[in-house]
Amino acid sequence: SFVDRMLKLYGDKPVLITEWNMKHGYKNSENTSLWASDLSDVFGLFQTKPTIKAACLYRLLETENERGWPGLIKAGSYEPKEYFYAMYKNWR
């Protein structure tokens, strides 16, 4: 996999992942359930790799001017944004 090839380059050094590049296939999709599920699958893969020390997730607030990026909570009301809020709560 791409992850394995990338980790091989760094050997035993700790890795921090800041860009997952998971938006392009889903950006204009209404299927946020599938998007959240796929993010969880990738996060699960990251957890099996001992040199991956952190994986950052963008963004906390979903805003309309960003066309509904998968924020964890809604701007203004701070209500959970499903399915991303539930996804994040289930990550360990």
Structure confidence at residue 26 (pLDDT): 67
Structure confidence at residue 24 (pLDDT): 63
Q: For the full predicted model, state whether its pTM sits above 0.75.
A: no
Q: How many helices (H) and strands (E) does the chain have?
A: 3, 4
Structure confidence at residue 50 (pLDDT): 95
- Average pLDDT, consecutive stretches of 10 residues, N- to C-terminus, the chain (92 residues): 89 88 65 83 90 87 71 89 88 78
Number of structural domains found in the chain: 1
**3-state DSSP call for residue 66?**
helix
Residue 73: give the domain boundaries.
2-90
